[in-house]
Amino acid sequence: MNYLHSAMLELGMTPKLSGRNLTAMLDGGEGPLLLLNSHTDTVPVGQGWTRDPLAANIEDGKIYGRGSNDAKGCLVAMILGAKRAFATNAPKGKVLLAASCEEEVLGLGLEVLLPTLPRPDAAVVGEPTGLKAAVAQKGLLLLEIINMGRSAHAAHGGGINAVESAARDVLALSKLIIPGAHTALGATSLHVTQISGGDRHNVIPDRCKLVVDIRTVPSVSPEEIIALVKNTVEGEVMIRSNRLGSVETDISHPIVKAALAANPAGRAYGSPTLSDWVFLKGIPTVKAGPGDSKRSHTPDEYLEVAELEAGVDFYEKLIRAYFAKASL
């Protein structure tokens, strides 16, 4: 964060630190406010690296390191792209750069930063999308299903086995089809991802818990899904998390047009993965940046230097196109 702070100072920006989030306003006078956001945190280094994960060494045109692809490349490209856009023929309006922490582990980043900022007219979230514009993003609904039984000695039998009723719930959920597919995002997905029940071999278990990971789309409400699940299972359905909703932006909005103009080879698409966009509800947003999402969170994560340079061009063009369209 200190490194980024001094780099922004060197670029002639006036960065402001609040908590572990860094912002800088580029001011071209009266006009709309465009937020450019990306995150500085990464997932842990993990196993399997054949290169130094913290050195950012360049080898065969690739920058290797944890976070090179997700999402420090996007952040650097945003900063340099914005710098270029304001260096000559500055757009009429303001760009707010926000480097936020804790996207990967939610709780301290953009969610707490946003209420302290002026409300943006549009936003770009920098994530590795190969410079394609994500115009919709799936949300996350986490449910727990608690099956209760009655314990008994396994040798005597009797009791009510909570693991067995949970097993019936798992099978029933695997067959559940949630209607209402979204044009860009497809269908809601639902998977039982954790199960825990019983604590010794000789006791009929009286409790079993399932965790259900549901990736939602804007065309089906979480309430509809919860009602469907309740009708499908024997256990009690509890909501663990329903705060990360799905989001989408009208493709006729200037921010979408600007992102498509900045990369004519790209196309608008729906993204299955979460990002800080979930906190920008009601603000027209696209998610776009250099790199490939499939390289994120892997050993030997890298970003090509050429991708980074294309990213700088992309954000500069996007900024110019947005302010040209927004002021029409």
**Interacting stretch for Zn ion, rule CB under 5 A, among 71-79, 236-244, 265-273, 317-325?**
71-79
The end-to-end CA distance of the chain, in Å, is: 37
* Min separation Cβ 186 and Zn ion, Å: 21
* Min separation Cβ 43 and Zn ion, Å: 9
Rounded Cα gap, residues 325 and 165, in angstroms: 58
Going 79 to 81 to 87 to 93, the CA torsion angle's sign is negative
**Interacting stretch for Zn ion, rule CB under 5 A, among 83-91, 122-130, 148-156, 251-259?**
122-130
* Min separation Cβ 140 and Zn ion, Å: 14
**Interacting stretch for Zn ion, rule CB under 5 A, among 76-84, 121-129, 179-187, 277-285?**
121-129
Report the residue number, 31 or 299, with the smaller CB distance to Zn ion.
299
Report the residue number, 73 or 235, with the smaller CB distance to Zn ion.
73
Find out whether the peptide bond into 71 is cis, omega within 30 degrees of 0.
yes
The reply on whether position 70 binds Zn ion by CB under 5 A is: yes
* Min separation Cβ 258 and Zn ion, Å: 21
**Interacting stretch for Zn ion, rule CB under 5 A, among 1-9, 48-56, 119-127, 178-186?**
119-127
Report the residue number, 165 or 285, with the smaller CB distance to Zn ion.
285
DSSP 8-state code for residue 119: P
* Min separation Cβ 81 and Zn ion, Å: 18
The answer to whether the CB of 100 falls within 8 A of the CB of 21 is: yes
* Min separation Cβ 190 and Zn ion, Å: 24
The reply on whether position 41 binds Zn ion by CB under 5 A is: no
Amino acid at site 284: P
Residue from the set 71, 77, 166, 204 that interacts with Zn ion by CB under 5 A: 71
Report the residue number, 41 or 248, with the smaller CB distance to Zn ion.
41
C-alpha distances (whole Å) from 16 to each of 5, 22, 73, 86, 201 are: 8, 6, 21, 19, 58
Report the residue number, 93 or 128, with the smaller CB distance to Zn ion.
128
The reply on whether position 304 binds Zn ion by CB under 5 A is: no
The reply on whether position 134 binds Zn ion by CB under 5 A is: no
Rounded Cα gap, residues 71 and 40, in angstroms: 7
Rounded Cα gap, residues 42 and 45, in angstroms: 8
Report the residue number, 70 or 248, with the smaller CB distance to Zn ion.
70
Amino acid at site 321: A
Q: Under 8 Å CB-to-CB from 60, ≥6 apart: which residues? A: none
The answer to whether the CB of 249 falls within 8 A of the CB of 164 is: no
The label of the residue with tokens 């260096």 reads 87
Report the residue number, 101 or 268, with the smaller CB distance to Zn ion.
101
DSSP 8-state code for residue 55: T
Q: Name the residues that contact Zn ion, by CB under 5 A.
A: 70-71, 127
